[in-house]
Chain A
Amino acid sequence: MRRVTVLFALVATLAAGSIRAADDYAYDLVHSSVSFKARFLEISWIHGRFNDVAGKFSLDRQDPTKSTFELSIKADSVDTANAARDEHLRQPDYFDTKQFPTIDFKSTKVKAIPDGYEVSGDFTMHGVTKPVTIKLLGGKEIEAMGKKRVGFATELKLKRSDFNFDKGQIGAIGDEAIIIIDCAGQRD
């Protein structure tokens, strides 16, 4: 009887292991960056970044379609190295951060590609949600500083006008913006 119980426990443990093959990572704010650039007068680029970002991702290496990615950016944390411009960007002519405090991405479909993952998901900015597909390059896990770490990089091109930004403010700063995400995740 005791052998049967041990065998049952062993099978149950193995089954649980196969069900829960994904690794959960927390967003590593210190070693990550979400930045952006937008055209200035069609002659140069204005660069900025968001300093307050949270997220998590779950990687299922056996079945990558079960992986998930989530990112939440505090729009209020916009930083273009110019305090006056940052205040302007927080106002309703641009991000309207009191009304739309976060910029969010949540994956809906993941598939493995060479060097990373192709992730489709819902991108919500300025109160508008649009489906986007990004190529996350990376995903190799290493162990460093007492934690298991993984990193990804991607770029996302979008048009502000698609996200209900005030069209009257599209001029000096162009419609198209490029969001550059370099993020690291960590787990115990």
Chain B
Amino acid sequence: MPDGVGLVRAAACGFGVAFALGTVGAAVSRREPALAGVAVLVACVWGGIAGLLALPAIPSLPPASGLDRFLLILLPVALAIEAEAAAGWLDGFWLSVERALVAMVAMPVLLHGSVWLTGGSQRVWVGMFAAAFVLWGAWEGTAGHVRATGDRLVAAVTAVALLAAGLAIMLAGWLKGGVVAIPLAAAFGGATLVAGGTGFARLGTKAGLAGLSSAGIVALFGLVVIGRCFGRLGTASAALLLAAPLLVAIADGLARSLPDTVGARLVRSTRYRLLLAAVPLVIVLVAAKAEFDSTLGRLLVTPAPSAAAEP
């Protein structure tokens, strides 16, 4: 378990590498807008790898745990699909098919070989089907929304939600599962800053932001699923963490469909949508801290001898 300095170093590596490579990618692909989105996703991938190496938290090969399968299978596949989308290599229909297929197999892949599948009750299979549907809807909806609107806030909030998920999983007692989220969140954050703040926005491509937002949603989904199924992250916490970036996208989408009134402008405002995302994240973190203090936190503190026991 790395100390605070190690965590900051890993986050700085993830953020720095993603930001630096993203900036270089922006410069190189200035005349090739189709590559701009791919470049920002590649920057995010290398940022994540750099951060994980800095921890160090290197998944084992062949993947043995849910965390290994999340890092080595689900996340790379999601990023690859979004790179295809950003580059325009496939049309919308085939991208939807790919996303649907990955959403369907995401849960079986993450839970492979575990008691959830080997002793799978009907309830578990219903839950897995529902989770696949939620993932597909969230993934497809986010990609479509951000691609159409260039909404920068979704990717930013997704990165923050990843960080919050990591903290919640750590506080629930799975240190490694939570720790890996920190460099991942930093890498998504660094790439988002480039895509949303500098070159890519000016290039007019929204593909980079769409790719980061939707791959970030898949990352968040994978993290909360393994946190819930292998760690002790509660179902409500997992749902709230996943809801935060989706609320941001849904609020924007709803407001755009409304007449241009003061209320609609308020709903679309960054401040309101940040508040909307902050509420579930704060609830999760406060609840996780309270739970930690009442359970695992006690392991770290040895009670002082009582006065009555003293001579």
Contact pick for A101, options B64, B115, B173, B175, CB 8 Å? B115
Query: Chain B residues with Cβ under 8 A from A168's Cβ?
Result: 1-2, 57, 175-176, 179
**B129 on interface, CB distance cutoff 8 Å:** no
Contact pick for A92, options B1, B2, B115, B230, CB 8 Å? B230
Contact pick for A88, options B1, B66, B296, CB 8 Å? B296
Where chain A touches its partner, the secondary structure class is: loop
Contact pick for B174, options A93, A101, A164, CB 8 Å? A93
Q: From B300, which residue of chain A is reached at the shortest CB distance?
A: A172
Query: Chain B residues with Cβ under 8 A from A99's Cβ?
Result: 64-66, 113-115, 230
Query: Which residue of A92, A98, A127 has the most chain B CB atoms within 10 A of its CB atom?
Result: A92
B66 and A92: CB pair below 8 A? yes
A93 to B2, CA, bound (A): 13
**B144 on interface, CB distance cutoff 8 Å:** no
Chain A residues 74-126 with CB under 8 Å of chain B are: 82-85, 87-88, 91-93, 96-99, 101
Q: Quick one: given A84-B296, A127-B64, A164-B60, are A91 and B115 in contact (CB under 8 Å)?
A: no
Contact pick for B116, options A98, A127, A166, CB 8 Å? A98
Q: B71 CB to closest chain A CB, in angstroms?
A: 13
Q: Count residues of chain A with CB under 8 A from any CB of chain B.
A: 20
A87 and B299: CB pair below 8 A? no
B173 and A91: CB pair below 8 A? yes
Query: Chain A residues with Cβ under 8 A from B66's Cβ?
Result: 92, 99
Inter-chain residue pair count (beta carbon < 8 A): 64
**B67 on interface, CB distance cutoff 8 Å:** yes
Query: Chain B residues with Cβ under 8 A from A84's Cβ?
Result: 295-296, 298-299
Chain B interface residue bracket vs A = 20 to 34
**A171 on interface, CB distance cutoff 8 Å:** yes
A83 to B298, CA, bound (A): 11
Query: Chain A residues with Cβ under 8 A from B230's Cβ?
Result: 91-92, 96, 98-99
Q: B184 CB to closest chain A CB, in angstroms?
A: 17
**B177 on interface, CB distance cutoff 8 Å:** yes
Q: From A88, which residue of chain B is reached at the shortest CB distance?
A: B173
**A13 on interface, CB distance cutoff 8 Å:** no
B232 and A93: CB pair below 8 A? no
B299 and A82: CB pair below 8 A? yes
A92 and B176: CB pair below 8 A? yes
A96 and B65: CB pair below 8 A? yes
Query: Which residue of B1, B116, B295, B298 has the most chain A CB atoms within 10 A of its CB atom?
Result: B1
**B231 on interface, CB distance cutoff 8 Å:** yes
Which residue numbers of A lie inside 8 Å of B, CB to CB? 82-85, 87-88, 91-93, 96-99, 101, 127, 164, 166, 168-169, 171
> What are 6 pairs between A and B in contact, CB < 8 Å?
A84-B295, A88-B299, A91-B174, A98-B230, A99-B65, A168-B179
Q: Nearest 7 pairs between A and B by C-beta? A: A84-B295, A168-B1, A91-B174, A99-B114, A88-B173, A92-B230, A91-B173
A-B contact sample (16 more), CB < 8 A, given A92-B67, A92-B177, A99-B113? A91-B173, A91-B231, A93-B175, A93-B176, A96-B65, A97-B115, A98-B114, A98-B115, A98-B116, A98-B230, A101-B115, A101-B118, A164-B60, A168-B1, A169-B175, A171-B1
